[in-house]
Structure 1
Amino acid sequence: MSTLTVRPVAGHIGADIDGVDLSRPLAAEDVAAVRQALHRHKVVFFRGQDLDHAAQIAFARQFGELTYAHPHDDAPPADHPEIFTVDPRRFEERYGKGFQEEYRKRRYSYVDGWHTDVTAAVNPPAGSVLRAETVPAVGGDTQWTNLVAAYQGLSAPVRAFVDTLRAEHRYGGGQQVAGDSEYGRRINDNLLVAVHPVVRVHPETGERALFVNPVFTSHVVDVTAVESRRILDLLYAEITRPEYTVRLRWEAGHVAFWDNRVTAHLAPLDLDHLDVERRLHRVTLIGDVPVGPDGQRSELVAGRPFTADHRVAVAS
């Protein structure tokens, strides 16, 4: 009999799942229980797991096919092209010491770090599985927010209004990415741009969720620049309300699994001044093309759908 248990950890989002070993194939009833918990709680946490790259990939594949590591990563771990390693030191080795400063300059407020993974693609990942390998003793927490709750928190007239809107998503969001840096060249040579509904309908639960985020959303289409900024400011304030969020204090072996269609998350902002090591590994599930309340699907503007068959252009 299954020993899996689900325990909510916050009022609107997040649950701990215990009594399951992710290094082994799950029973069909446990896969169904995890999927049900994910739909209800949006992000679930497994603590104290013992996984390597292969085991993480095998666990995630029980919930769907996996994408390539990342649209800009040309060097995932050998024999594991699905793994994207989150490590600031690795990013500095790739893009140079100025990478963090360039990224920081494009931020204008706290909310700018909130994002939903790879929404610049016409089919953003359906879900993400993140595993902690090395984490600092202090700092480095990740937060998630429930975009269904954020939508439901709007008044009925505002919900009816945003149901009709569409927005462009691109790498760099509304900020121009300089093409004279290694980071800028990598983005511009592997451009991904899509127009998504501002509200998407979850393909399995039918729930409506806000689908904009400060990292990738450049503007609302068919309105003025000023109107776009005001609309997005309103929605960003809503999706980052503390009551819709949950926060994870990482330890080595912790695994977070979130539904990328109805959540945004915030990477830590409290480590830049500390000489610490933080390394996590992520895989993402191939996603569907978002659909709005009116049934209209997202549109590809540049690039191609994000799948396992992905090639990264690298400037010589």
Structure 2
Amino acid sequence: MTTKQGGGIEVRPVAGYIGAEITGVDLADGLDEAQVAVVRAAVLRWKVVFFRGQRLDHEGQVRFARRFGEPVVLRRRGSASPAGHPEIETTADRLELGGRYGMEHDEWLRRRRHIPLRGWHCDHGARVDPPAATILRAETVPPYGGDTTWANLAAAYAGLSAPVRAFADGLRAEHRLGVGYQSRPGDDAYVRHLLDHQIATVHPLVRVHPETGERVLFVNGYYVEHIEDVSRAESRLLLELLLEQATRPEYTVRFHWEPGSVAFWDNRATIHLAPSDNAHLGHPRTMHRVMLAGDVPAGVDGRPSEALVGSAPGRW
């Protein structure tokens, strides 16, 4: 069902619980207040929205992002990111990471995703103030493969049985950088890097969305170390249960990128899975990411997240 909104914009849901495609707007021309309101409402309702055939450049992407929040400026980026636009990180930077630590990129990626659910994550979830949203723009994509998948964490929470929801409401979990990495035998330069640049936070397992008031199952495979106040064995099984719930197919949407595609998602209410089916194809995939600054999550009881090491609100 397509719904026509203010400013000539049309919003068409593409899956039952998450995802909508927005048409009728040229992001390079800028958005008026009515159009901004429609896009913001669509992101909050559908968690991720897609625009196709856009002609944004770096400056236009940052300008678009600023209509919805304050872009994050990362202290460290790779050589592929545009020097004149510190708000933008280019995904091609990640191809450099393995080489910094004595590994081919494929090995580095395998060690980060040695368990299937490990790849699911929100952006910078180990921080005490994870980004509120992410805007990703496709420049160069393979002719096939390279899709991204998102999951709706509010729908996943609502889909739990009432006793499990009540149990999860009172739990907190440690999120830590590098949890999903499987170390190499012997000396591992990447492990040393993780220890030297550690980021860890205790987040509520269920956070209350600051704009919608929804309860969100704040869990992901890449950052969650363990659930507090339960045994390691219990934590492992609980996390497996909750991750499988969060990534059930009915709570997900998959998007096939084209040059000029833009995805805008609520990083507070989703996790996503970057593709792993395109590296062997030999085709470049260049994407440009802008993240919007977020707040410190709060649980059902109102208790905020607690930084353990490595991050403070607003300091990147």
When normalised by structure 1's length, the TM-score is: 0.92
Instruction: Write the deviation string for residues 103-145 of structure 1: whole angstroms up to 9, x where unpaired.
Output: 3134343221111110100000000000001000010000001
The structural deviation recorded for 1:92 is 4.7
Q: SS at the partner of 1:151?
A: helix
Please state if 1:215 is matched with 2:222.
yes
Please state if 1:124 is matched with 2:154.
no
Contact 1:286 1:306 in 2 (8 A): no
The structural deviation recorded for 1:17 is 0.6
- The correspondence of residues 219-230 of structure 1 with structure 2, limited to 5 A, is 219-230=226-237
Please state if 1:272 is matched with 2:279.
yes
Aligned twin of 1:313? none
Q: SS at the partner of 1:276?
A: coil
Distance, in Å, in 2 between the alignment partners of 1:95 and 1:174 is: 17
Please state if 1:55 is matched with 2:76.
no
Instruction: Write the deviation string for residues 149-198 of structure 1: whole angstroms up to 9, x where unpaired.
Output: 10011000000000000001111125565695554444333221111000
Instruction: Write the deviation string for residues 89-110 of structure 1: whole angstroms up to 9, x where unpaired.
Output: 3445555543431331343432
Q: SS at the partner of 2:260?
A: coil
Instruction: Write the deviation string for residues 205-239 of structure 1: whole angstroms up to 9, x where unpaired.
Output: 00001001000111111111001101100001101
Aligned twin of 1:243? 250
Distance, in Å, in 2 between the alignment partners of 1:258 and 1:41 is: 9
For 1:220, the aligned partner's letter is I
**Which one of 74, 77, 89 corresponds to residue 73 of structure 1?**
77
Distance, in Å, in 2 between the alignment partners of 1:93 and 1:39 is: 38
Aligned twin of 1:154? 160
Q: 1:145 to 1:250 in 2, by over 3 A?
A: same
Distance, in Å, in 1 between the alignment partners of 2:52 and 2:173 is: 37
Distance, in Å, in 2 between the alignment partners of 1:18 and 1:56 is: 17
Distance, in Å, in 1 between the alignment partners of 2:269 and 2:159 is: 14
**Which one of 103, 109, 114 corresponds to residue 115 of structure 2?**
109
Aligned twin of 1:293? 300
**Which one of 127, 136, 141 corresponds to residue 135 of structure 1?**
141
Q: 1:289 to 1:110 in 2, by over 3 A?
A: same
Distance, in Å, in 2 between the alignment partners of 1:187 and 1:257 is: 29
Cα RMSD (Å): 2.0
Distance, in Å, in 2 between the alignment partners of 1:194 and 1:10 is: 33
Aligned twin of 2:202? 195
Contact 1:173 1:216 in 2 (8 A): yes
Moved more, 179-188 or 117-126: 179-188
Q: SS at the partner of 2:281?
A: coil
Contact 2:295 2:313 in 1 (8 A): no
User: What residue ranges of structure 1 are gaps of 5+ in the alignment?
Assistant: 311-316
Contact 2:19 2:253 in 1 (8 A): yes
**Which one of 3, 8, 14 corresponds to residue 3 of structure 1?**
8
Q: 1:34 to 1:40 in 2, by over 3 A?
A: same
Moved more, 26-35 or 270-279: 270-279
For 2:256, the aligned partner's letter is R
Moved more, 210-219 or 101-110: 101-110
Q: Provide the aligned length of Structure 1 versus Structure 2.
A: 308
User: What residue ranges of structure 2 are gaps of 5+ in the alignment?
Assistant: 1-5
Contact 1:201 1:208 in 2 (8 A): yes
Moved more, 180-189 or 271-280: 180-189
Instruction: Write the deviation string for residues 7-43 of structure 1: whole angstroms up to 9, x where unpaired.
Output: 1000000000111111122100111110000110000
Instruction: Write the deviation string for residues 252-272 of structure 1: whole angstroms up to 9, x where unpaired.
Output: 000000000000000001123
When normalised by structure 2's length, the TM-score is: 0.92
Distance, in Å, in 1 between the alignment partners of 2:257 and 2:189 is: 31
Contact 1:99 1:183 in 2 (8 A): no
Greater helix share, structure number: 2
Distance, in Å, in 2 between the alignment partners of 1:266 and 1:106 is: 13
Contact 2:17 2:250 in 1 (8 A): yes
Contact 1:123 1:290 in 2 (8 A): yes
Percent identity of equivalent pairs: 55
